[in-house]
Amino acid sequence: MYASAEELVFDIAELASFELFSPVVDETVWFFRDLLGMIETARSGDSVYLRGFEDPYGHSLKITHRDTPGMGHAGWRANSVPALHRRVEAIERSGLGRGWVEGEVGMGPAYEFTTPDGAVQRIGFEVAYYEPPAEQRSVVLNRVQRRPLNGVPIRRLDHLNLLSRDVTENRRFFAEQLGFKLSEHILFSDDTEGGAWLRAMTRSHDIALVKDGVGGGGRLHHVAFLYGNTQHLMDACDVLTDNGLEIEAAMASHAISQAQFVYVLEPGGNRIELVGSAGYQVTDPSWQPVVWAQDAIDDAIIWYGSELPAEFDTYGTPVVGPTNYRTPNRYAATEAGMILGGRASV
């Protein structure tokens, strides 16, 4: 029998939006809109806003021009206004708060802060909902709009993964200041944490933190979008391969989270994960975090299937050090009907 007097915190509802930096905004937009079926909803300054067809808000992805790829910020939504204020107070006590930000397209006031590694995060509650034009309304009334007719459309934003200088320090920050719950983690043989997967509500993880072996942390390992089934991963691979994108790993299955995945570099050089089946849900309130020892890590990352390339552990954006990955030029690829040229990332 298991009993605990401890209350679980459910103050954060979800990852609601994500800002990605790209040196080639047009190509990055082409990737998400033409290949992955996202809908462009706004442009403002150096930024383009998009959403998946089941993302409820005005945007879930903001692509902003910067010379170097990476993450702008991750935008979390609180479960209520009081929950927002509880989290802001906790963040302020941690000393990592930066203050309220206003004026983001389709977003109400949000409180900006950083992780211990310096990755920028925001938390808010008010948000503008997407109103589809009449001809895009679906007979499936719980669906924001119709399934798009372009590309292999992803459904919605899923989670993010940050390369971390010190996984434990960052994991504690998310747990203690934001109320995230630990689902699984990797313990190296020296007892340091190699990675941690945390959930806000019940999906297996909304954020993952993995050891940054080559950089100082705070870098983007990947941001993930959800399909919900295996076949769409395969359809996406068809399209991505023929359009010259670098597929880093595909169609394997993580033991951690039990999700099937594709990792691909978008033209700006950021790693994007496409998720098939979403993996397990944690509704058990007494869930004991799963521990993966060092010698089980391979099983943890790839349940079955082939090896991941060595750069899976080190490549992130901004890129640190040399890389073998290439981010092919869209137009070269399109003109030649093949991967003819390319551009080494960074």
Stretch of 110-118, 134-142, 165-173, 213-221 contacting its own copies, by CB under 8 A: 134-142
CB of 217 to its own copies, least distance (A): 26
H or E stretch covering 82: helix 81-94
The smaller minimum CB distance to its own copies, of residues 208 and 249, is found at 249
User: 110-117, long-range: CB within 8 Å, 24+ apart, which pairs?
Assistant: 110/75, 111/84, 111/87, 112/73, 114/218, 115/162, 115/164, 115/170, 115/173, 115/174, 115/218, 116/165, 116/166, 116/169, 116/170, 116/173, 117/162, 117/164, 117/165, 117/166, 117/170, 117/216, 117/217, 117/218
Residue position matching structure tokens 């609180």: 78
CB of 211 to its own copies, least distance (A): 19
Q: Which of 83, 119, 160, 182 binds its own copies (CB under 8 A)?
A: 83
Distances in whole angstroms, Cα of residue 23 to Cα of each of 47, 68, 183: 12, 6, 35
155 within 8 A of 53, measured Cβ to Cβ? yes
Q: Which residues contact 177 (CB under 8 A, 6 or more apart)?
A: 87, 90, 91, 93, 94, 96
Site string for its own copies, 195-224 (x = CB under 8 A): -----xxxxx--------------------
29 within 8 A of 36, measured Cβ to Cβ? no
According to the binding rule CB under 8 A, does residue 326 interact with its own copies? Answer: no
CB of 294 to its own copies, least distance (A): 14
Q: Which of 25, 63, 127, 167 binds its own copies (CB under 8 A)?
A: 127
According to the binding rule CB under 8 A, does residue 324 interact with its own copies? Answer: no
**Residue numbers 327-346 binding its own copies by CB under 8 A:** 334-339
Site string for its own copies, 163-182 (x = CB under 8 A): --------------------
Structure tokens at 340: 């003819």
**Residue numbers 7-66 binding its own copies by CB under 8 A:** 7-8, 10, 13-14, 34-35, 54, 56
Q: Which of 46, 118, 128, 131 binds its own copies (CB under 8 A)?
A: 128
In the chain, what is the straight-line distance between the N-terminal and C-terminal CA atoms, in Å?
54
The smaller minimum CB distance to its own copies, of residues 70 and 276, is found at 276
CB of 70 to its own copies, least distance (A): 25
**Residue numbers 244-303 binding its own copies by CB under 8 A:** 247, 249-253, 255-258, 260, 262, 277-278, 280-281, 283-285, 290-292, 296, 299-300, 302-303
Distances in whole angstroms, Cα of residue 56 to Cα of each of 79, 144, 156: 15, 6, 9
Q: Which of 94, 114, 168, 229 binds its own copies (CB under 8 A)?
A: 229
CB of 23 to its own copies, least distance (A): 24
Among 213, 168, 208, which residue's Cα sits nearest to residue 184? 208
CB of 318 to its own copies, least distance (A): 25
User: Bridge partners of 203?
Assistant: 281
The smaller minimum CB distance to its own copies, of residues 60 and 215, is found at 60
Q: Which of 95, 99, 103, 129 binds its own copies (CB under 8 A)?
A: 129
Kindly determine how many residues on this chain lie close enough to bind its own copies according to the rule CB under 8 A.
104
The pair phi, psi for residue 331, each rounded to 5°, is -75, -40
The C-alpha angle with vertex 105 and arms to 104 and 109, in degrees rounded to 5, equals 40
CB of 96 to its own copies, least distance (A): 24
Among 156, 36, 19, 223, which residue's Cα sits nearest to residue 101? 19
Among 90, 84, 89, which residue's Cα sits nearest to residue 109? 84
